[in-house]
């Protein structure tokens, strides 16, 4: 199948990323000749097992962890569920969770379902954010209570890129002896992380957000943290996650982490410059456009911009005609026309929340692509506004 990826201007990297060619090369032997089971006693399988352990070391190195603290999972969602459910089983009498109003559905829906499934035995405090998408540390402190089993706060928001001070928050949790989980799916590979310098207990990673394949994730579990597996089965991952390892993808994730560690500093400066060029260009050339999210406390690759009085889905369809891929903050995917829960939590005005577009760049984007988008967007928005009754009232 030719999906036409050579023609696409891909600026939707917070949704998923291209697998790096180096990652594909590293994976190939494990999709062909090296098909042994890493748990087998024979040398053929044992060699695969050794390669899995080498990948574990590379992943640990990227986040300053010990390899024994890396547990392979199938995705970021599984890692999030594992961490939260583990804490709730460890402390069955503690029925309180602290999280935020802007978590990814991987955490948000789990918390919603817990309250329903357990007949309201669990209560969840969801911290508010301000108009920049930032948390208030006093509200956080006040939310922690005697019966809090776990705090789950994302490192970086997938829609706005806003970064939360999770290390400071984990230190406060430690003073109260409360477990701290962070969904770092959008942060790993984009900003430096060193688990030796913080007190976070659990951290979630997803392969497909950092140029590794879909279907592989990691849960970092700090040494000594009480842990209850989510999937029981064989003795894989030292009994912490049953199921034969997704070997090729694990090898791919190891290589992707190695690449990220080697190039992050330089590449992120370049990606940030491209992001800023795009952001400043759009805000300057399109009237009634505004940035959603803190101007500086943000991932280097993400910008979320609202174009007032137009619908996000309509903008995306028009962009699609020019092969430009991005995402909308209004929840077409959920089948409702409500703006996203993140935009609502930030109090973005209704007319702007509906027209929010997330551009998320990667190391594969170029200045030429940014300029192409800057050339096309003003006319797209102007055409849509010409059809909008709300815009006519505004004019
Ligand atoms: N958490 C965040 C912040 C995400 O952005 C995503 C994916 O978009 C996930 C969790 C889920 O990751 P996965 O697709 O690997 O389950």
CB 76 less than 6 A from any atom of ligand 1: yes
Determine contact, residues 99/83, Cβ cutoff 8 Å: no
The model's pLDDT over 182-224, given as tens digits with 9 standing for 90+, comes to 999 999 999 999 999 999 999 999 999 999 999 999 999 999 9
According to CATH, where is 3.40.640.10 located in the chain?
Answer: 21-259
CB 106 less than 6 A from any atom of ligand 1: yes
Ramachandran bin of 346, using left for φ above 0, alpha for ψ from -120 to 50, beta for the remaining angles: alpha
According to CATH, where is 3.90.1150.10 located in the chain?
Answer: 9-16+264-389
The model's pLDDT over 114-162, given as tens digits with 9 standing for 90+, comes to 877 666 688 999 999 999 999 999 999 999 999 999 999 999 999 999 9
pLDDT of residue 332: 47
Look up residue 20 and give its two tokens.
């790096």
pLDDT of residue 4: 78
Contacts of 6 (CB under 8 A, 6+ apart): none
Q: Rounded to whole angstroms, how far apart are CA atoms 70 and 219? A: 6
pLDDT of residue 388: 81
- DSSP string computed for 222-267: -TT-----SS-SSSHHHHTS-S---HHHHHHHHHHHHHHHHHHHHH
Given a cut of 70, is residue 395 above it in pLDDT? no
CA angle 337, 325, 350 (to 5 degrees): 30
Residue of the nearest CA to atom 8 in ligand 1?
Answer: 15
What is the distance in A from the centroid of ligand 1 to the CA of 107?
9
What is the distance in A from the centroid of ligand 1 to the CA of 392?
39
**Which CATH code, of 3.30.70.640, 3.30.1490.20, 3.90.1150.10, 1.10.3720.10, is assigned to 9-16+264-389?**
3.90.1150.10
The model's pLDDT over 68-110, given as tens digits with 9 standing for 90+, comes to 999 999 999 999 999 999 999 999 999 999 999 999 999 999 9
Q: From start to end of the chain, where are the E strands? A: 9-10, 70-73, 96-100, 123-127, 148-152, 179-183, 202-206, 217-221, 289-291, 302-307, 324-325, 327-328, 356-360
- DSSP string computed for 143-184: H--TTEEEEE--SB-TTT-BBP-HHHHHHHHHHTT-EEEEE-
pLDDT of residue 120: 66
Report the SS3 class of residue 291.
strand
Q: Which atom of ligand 1 is nearest to the CA of 15?
A: 8
Q: Provide mean pLDDT across the span 327-339.
A: 65
Phi, psi torsion values for 296, nearest 5 degrees = -115, -35
Percent of the chain with pLDDT over 90: 90
Determine contact, residues 377/285, Cβ cutoff 8 Å: yes
What is the distance in A from the centroid of ligand 1 to the CA of 75?
8
The model's pLDDT over 218-244, given as tens digits with 9 standing for 90+, comes to 999 999 999 999 999 999 999 999 999
CB 329 less than 6 A from any atom of ligand 1: no
The DSSP output letter for 296 is S
CB 158 less than 6 A from any atom of ligand 1: yes
In a 10 Å sphere around its CB, with 0-12 CB exposed, 13-18 middle and 19+ buried, how is residue 121 labelled? exposed
The model's pLDDT over 43-55, given as tens digits with 9 standing for 90+, comes to 999 999 999 999 9
Residue of the nearest CA to atom 5 in ligand 1?
Answer: 158
CB 75 less than 6 A from any atom of ligand 1: yes
Determine contact, residues 109/83, Cβ cutoff 8 Å: no
Of 3, 8, 17, the closest CA to residue 267 belongs to 17
* Residues present in the chain in total: 395
pLDDT of residue 5: 81
The model's pLDDT over 22-37, given as tens digits with 9 standing for 90+, comes to 999 999 999 999 999 9
Determine contact, residues 104/204, Cβ cutoff 8 Å: no
Q: Rounded to whole angstroms, how far apart are CA atoms 309 and 304? A: 16
CB 153 less than 6 A from any atom of ligand 1: no
Q: Provide mean pLDDT across the span 331-341.
A: 66
Rg (CA), the chain: 22
Q: What is the CATH number of domain 21-259?
A: 3.40.640.10
pLDDT of residue 334: 45
How does the average pLDDT of the chain come out, rounded? 95
Q: Rounded to whole angstroms, how far apart are CA atoms 360 and 298? A: 12
Catalogue the active-site residues: 332
Distance (Å) of CA 334 to CA 120, 135, 188: 25, 26, 26
The model's pLDDT over 245-264, given as tens digits with 9 standing for 90+, comes to 999 999 999 999 999 999 99
């Amino acid at each position: 199948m030719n999906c036409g990826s050579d023609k696409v201007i891909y600026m939707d990297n917070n949704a998923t990323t291209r697998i790096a060619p180096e990652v594909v090369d590293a994976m190939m032997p494990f999709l062909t000749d090296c098909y042994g089971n890493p748990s087998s006693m024979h040398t053929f399988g044992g060699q695969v097992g050794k390669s899995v352990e080498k990948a574990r070391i590379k992943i640990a190195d990227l986040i300053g962890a010990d390899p024994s603290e890396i547990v392979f999972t199938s995705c970021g969602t599984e890692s999030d569920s594992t961490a939260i459910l583990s804490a709730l089983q460890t402390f069955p009498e503690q029925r309180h969770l602290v999280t935020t109003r802007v978590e990814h559905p991987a955490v948000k829906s789990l918390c919603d379902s817990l309250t329903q499934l357990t007949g309201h035995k669990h209560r969840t405090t969801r911290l508010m954010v301000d108009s920049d998408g930032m948390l208030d540390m006093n509200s956080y402190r006040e939310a922690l209570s005697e019966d809090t089993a776990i705090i789950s706060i994302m490192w970086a928001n997938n829609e706005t890129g806003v970064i939360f001070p999770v290390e400071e928050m984990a230190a406060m949790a430690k003073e109260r002896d409360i477990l701290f989980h962070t969904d770092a799916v959008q942060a790993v590979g984009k900003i430096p992380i060193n688990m030796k310098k913080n007190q976070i207990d659990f951290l979630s990673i997803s392969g497909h957000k950092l140029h590794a394949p879909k279907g592989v994730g990691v849960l970092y579990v700090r040494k000594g943290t009480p842990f209850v597996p989510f999937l029981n089965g064989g003795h894989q991952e030292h009994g912490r996650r049953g199921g034969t390892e997704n070997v090729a993808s694990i090898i791919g994730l190891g290589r992707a982490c190695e690449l990220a560690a080697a190039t992050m500093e330089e590449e992120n400066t370049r990606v940030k410059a491209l992001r800023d060029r795009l952001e400043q260009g759009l805000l300057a050339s399109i009237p009634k456009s505004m940035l959603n999210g803190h101007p500086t406390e943000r991932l280097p690759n993400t910008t979320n911009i609202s174009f007032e009085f137009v619908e996000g889905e309509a903008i995306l369809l028009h962009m699609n005609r020019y092969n430009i891929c991005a995402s909308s903050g209004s929840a077409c995917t959920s089948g409702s026309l409500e703006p996203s829960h993140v935009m609502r939590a930030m109090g973005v005005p209704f007319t702007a929340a509906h027209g929010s577009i997330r551009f998320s760049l990667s190391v594969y984007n170029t200045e030429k692509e940014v300029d192409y988008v800057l050339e096309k967007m003003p006319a797209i928005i102007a055409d849509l506004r010409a059809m909008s009754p709300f815009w006519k009232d505004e004019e």
